Copies of this chain bind each other. A is one copy, B any other.
């Protein structure tokens, strides 16, 4: 059964990513919490705290099913009586402000007993300090993954990420973006197997890309001031997740497992009134690049 195959892939992906991250971190191990959902299904949250490189991170797997939640029924896509949803969600907050925050989600949704089904997901990078070389490496890796499946994917999903990971009230992107996609089903000549192949590739791109940044930047020296800036940027991350992130909002509205949903929030964050970085500083340069439409790969 297709849904079982997808679920199994996500479950394995969670394990593989946790293993890669533990190896790259060198100190902390993931703590696993299994949980059951009242309406059907459940998941396993794997949380890493106080590692060498990762200060707080979560790699969550879930496979939930049952009656369609009330909060979804207003949407014409969710008129069925029941649903099945499975996926992997990741957010990692590093200690070192020169290592970026990363997020990935890959998910599969089914209604009408499988007659309607689609994939969604995305990866986006939130550097506290934007470094062109790192942003280029990140986007090039995503483009390579996308291009192996379809040349239309990267430009479309890169733009989608720019629009999605946007803090509207700040008129500021969350970070340097990445890719975002949703409702990938059998339209435009694609089969569900082709969509699944693509989502598998996205999932497998995560660990090598992020461990590259961990290894490369974990040893960079940083000042107290840079740590303060990291806290301010984390505050923006909180603003995005609590105000805009669709997964978080859905989780809070449907009374999902709160600790798994809010694992995305940082260990420490700051809000400073009307913080304005010094003109020409690296902080100011970063702010200038938190805009939509930058082509990181040529």
Q: Please list the residues of chain A having a beta carbon within 8 angstroms of any beta carbon in chain B.
A: 33, 47, 49, 56, 58, 168-170, 231, 235, 238-239, 242-243, 252, 255, 258-259, 262-263, 265-274
- Tell me which residues across on chain B come within 8 A of A231, comparing CB atoms: 268
Complex contact A47–B259 (CB within 8 A): no
Complex contact B269–A268 (CB within 8 A): yes
Complex contact A170–B272 (CB within 8 A): no
Q: How far is the CB of A36 from chain B (nearest CB, A)?
A: 16
- Tell me which residues across on chain B come within 8 A of A243, comparing CB atoms: 242-243, 252
Complex contact A273–B259 (CB within 8 A): yes
Complex contact A274–B33 (CB within 8 A): yes
Complex contact B272–A267 (CB within 8 A): yes
Take A243-B252, A252-B169, A258-B170 as given contacts and tell me if A235 and B265 are in contact as well, using a CB distance cutoff of 8 Å: yes
Complex contact B273–A56 (CB within 8 A): yes
- Tell me which residues across on chain B come within 8 A of A259, comparing CB atoms: 273-274
> Which of B47, B56, B270 is the one whose CB lies under 8 Å from A267?
B270
> Which of B239, B258, B268 is the one whose CB lies under 8 Å from A268?
B268
Give 17 new A-B contacts, CB below 8 A, not counting A243-B243, A268-B268: A47-B273, A47-B274, A49-B273, A168-B252, A169-B252, A169-B255, A169-B258, A238-B238, A238-B269, A239-B262, A242-B243, A243-B252, A262-B271, A263-B273, A266-B271, A267-B270, A269-B271
| Cross-chain pairs A/B with CB under 8 angstroms, 21 sampled | A49-B272, A49-B273, A58-B273, A169-B255, A169-B258, A231-B268, A238-B269, A239-B262, A242-B242, A243-B243, A243-B252, A262-B271, A263-B273, A265-B271, A267-B271, A267-B272, A268-B269, A268-B270, A269-B269, A269-B270, A269-B271
Task: Provide the bound-state CA to CA distance between A263 and B275, in Å.
Answer: 11
Give A270's nearest chain B residue, CB to CB: B268
